[in-house]
Amino acid sequence: MKEYEDIAIEVKDYIAKITIQRPPNNFFDSFLIQQIADAYEELDGIVECRVILLCSEGKNFCAGANFGEDKDMHDKSHPYSKLYDQAVRLFRTNKPVIAVIQGAAVGGGLGLALSADFRIACPEAKFSANFAKLGFHQGFGSSVTLPRVVGIQHSADMLYTARRVKGEEAFKMGLVDQITSKETLMAESIKFASEIASSAPMAVESIRSTVKGDLADQVEKVVAWELSEQIRLQKTKDFKEGIASSLERRDPKFSRK
């Protein structure tokens, strides 16, 4: 496999381990998501890979965007348009993906976790759809993927309040499929991946295609709407206040302007 700037890939016993290497927070941008999508597509053509573990180095799985430096966000006409083009690619590949979540999965980081087929986490993991506290609309297809995983009511709760959901609660609401200690997180993830890898690979990919249905098409459609709302809300004072309060680590004071 080719080498990537921000991810490392290891294939062993039919399991491909992709590790995001932007510690400690693993902030995302279009270039990172492009690398992951490229890797997924490359792994689709490798028979020695039957399942993918998506992991990350450092404290957090993916803490979303780094608003102080995020080039995608500061494109005033089309924030995240390149990012979402790459995000859609994640949903069009064939191998099952397990996200291994050791810390925070926030905003777009939550969207990345939701792009996986399964999520395994430890109690210390935290999940947040923090968009409303930023004066912003959710993105990365989470308008579709979050309700698909946890249902409308839990989605509304997370999106309206922007609160952080810890690992145990995430497991109870179905956002996380398995929960285990931080010390056993990787071992349990490999164990689950091995169970998938022991099944007939062409059958798994066929079944996965049926289960997912037209999810990729739904995501492609919804990210266009998410982007239009983000562009609209980016022009408001509330958005500026949301970003400023996040950078300054204080409570926002919104004015509906």
Question: What CA–CA distance (Å, rounded) separates 240 from 60?
Answer: 25
pLDDT for 71: 58
What tens digit of pLDDT does each residue of 133-149 get? 999 999 999 999 999 99
pLDDT for 124: 97
Low-confidence stretches of the chain (pLDDT < 50) are none
pLDDT for 16: 98
pLDDT for 72: 60
Domains and CATH numbers, the chain: 7-182 (3.90.226.10)
Distance of CA 225 to the CA centre of its chain: 18
What tens digit of pLDDT does each residue of 33-62 get? 999 999 999 999 999 999 999 999 999 999
> Exposed (0-12), middle (13-18) or buried (19+): which is 161, by Cβ within 10 Å?
middle
pLDDT for 1: 82
Cβ–Cβ < 8 Å for 219, 145: yes
